[in-house]
Amino acid sequence: MSGELKRGLEGVLVTESKLSFIDGDAGQLVYCGYDIEDLARDASYEEVLYLLWHGELPTREELDAFSDELAAHRGLDDGVLDVARELAEQDESPMAALRTLVSAMSAYDENADFEDVTDREVNLEKAKRITAKMPSVLAAYARFRRGDDYVEPDESLNHAANFLYMLNGEEPNEVLAETFDMALVLHADHGLNASTFSAMVTSSTLSDLYSAVTSAIGTLSGSLHGGANANVMRMLKNVDDSDMDPTEWVEDALDRGERVAGFGHRVYNVKDPRAKILGAKSEALGEAAGDMKWYEMSVAIEEYIGEEKGLAPNVDFYSASTYYQMGIPIDLYTPIFAVSRAGGWIAHVLEQYEDNRLIRPRARYTGEKGLELPSVDER
C-alpha cells in the first residue's frame, strides 16, 4: 500500500468537528467558540455539558431544567452497587472498576437497547444518565474499598459538589467545590485525543453509547493518556521523601534515563492553557492551607525542565497537586478525569452519529509473501 506513513496518526485529519479547537502554538483551547479561560472562570460544568451537547450555552431556565434532570439521575440501582462492592472486595484498580461499572449501568437503562442507536433524543437521555451516574459509581466504589457505607446523592448540590459529598460523606466548602468544578470544566473535552477517538471508532460501527464510553475509559487508563496525572503526584511525593532539592532530584532522574511526568504534549508546543489555570488554583489552595510545599516544588520542576529540555507542563502537571491538596486519593485522579471527559466523549459520539462513516484505516504490510505451507509434521 502506497502513501506516507503517519505513526500514531499524528497530524492526520480524519473528521470535522464543531466541539473543540486547539492552537498548539498559541496555547489556546476553545469549546464551541468559547475560550477555556472564560469558561473555567465563569461557567459551571453543567453549562459546559449543555454547550458541548447542544452547541450553545443554556439560558437560565434551560440550565436549571438540565441541572435538575442530571441530579435526578444520580442514584444507583442495587445491582450496580452490588457490582461496586464486589469490585472493591476484589481490590480491582479504580479505572478497571469504573470501566466495569459503566458497562454494568447499561443493564439498568431502559433505553440501552433502543433499536436506533443514532437516535439523538434517546442518546441525550442516555448521556444524562451516564454522566450523572459516573461520579456516583466512582464514589461508591471508593467508599466500599475503605469499608465505608454508600452515601446517597444530594440533589441540592451541583455536579462537582455532589461528587465530593458522596466521596467524603460531608458537604465540601465553597473553595473546594468551585475548584473541583473548574477542574471538571478544564478536562471536559480536548479535540481528538486517544480516548475520544476510541469512543468515535466504537460508535462508528453503530455500537451504542454505553459501549463507546466504556471503550474510552479503557483507552484513558493508559499512563500515556489519563494515567499521567497520578504519576505526577507520585513523582512529587518521591521528591519530597528524598529530602533533595527538586531540581537535583529531576536532574538525577533524567541522568538515569527516566521520564519526568507531566511535560510535553502531542498538540501543544507551548504551555498547556489548562496548566496555567490549574497552577493558579494549586497556588491558591496551598495559600489557604498554609502549606506551599507542593506548589513551590512544582514551580521549581517546571522552571528546570523548561530551561534544560525546552518542555512546558501539560494539564496533568498541576492537576496532580490540586487534587492532592483537596484530599483526593492519588489512584482516583484518572477516574476523575474520566468523570469529566465523559461529557466530551458523548458530544463527539453524538457528532459521529450525525454523519456516520465506519472508521477503518489501513496498515502497510511489512511481512513476507509467497511462503509455501508445510504439513504439520514437516514444521
Residues annotated as catalytic (active site), given as ranges:
265, 316
Cα 211 to chain centroid, rounded: 17
Whole-number Å distance between alpha carbons of 131 and 275: 24
> Secondary structure of 94-118 in the HEC alphabet?
HHHHHHHHHHHHHHHCCCCCCCCCC
CB distance 293 to 240 below 8 Å: yes
Selection from 94, 167, 146, 48 nearest residue 333 by Cα: 94
Sheet holding 34-35, edge to edge: 20-23, 28-31, 34-35
Q: At what angle do helices 120-145 and 60-72 cross, to 10 degrees?
A: 50
For residues 181-211, one letter each, b for 16 or more C-beta atoms within 10 angstroms of the residue's C-beta and e for the rest, the string is bbbbbbbbbbbbbbbbbbbbbbbbeebbbbb
User: Cell digits for 48?
Assistant: 459546559
- DSSP tag of 378: G
Whole-number Å distance between alpha carbons of 218 and 267: 22
Whole-number Å distance between alpha carbons of 89 and 130: 24
Give how far Cα 174 sits from Cα of 41, 91, 153, 177, Å.
15, 33, 18, 5
Whole-number Å distance between alpha carbons of 88 and 145: 5
Whole-number Å distance between alpha carbons of 185 and 40: 6
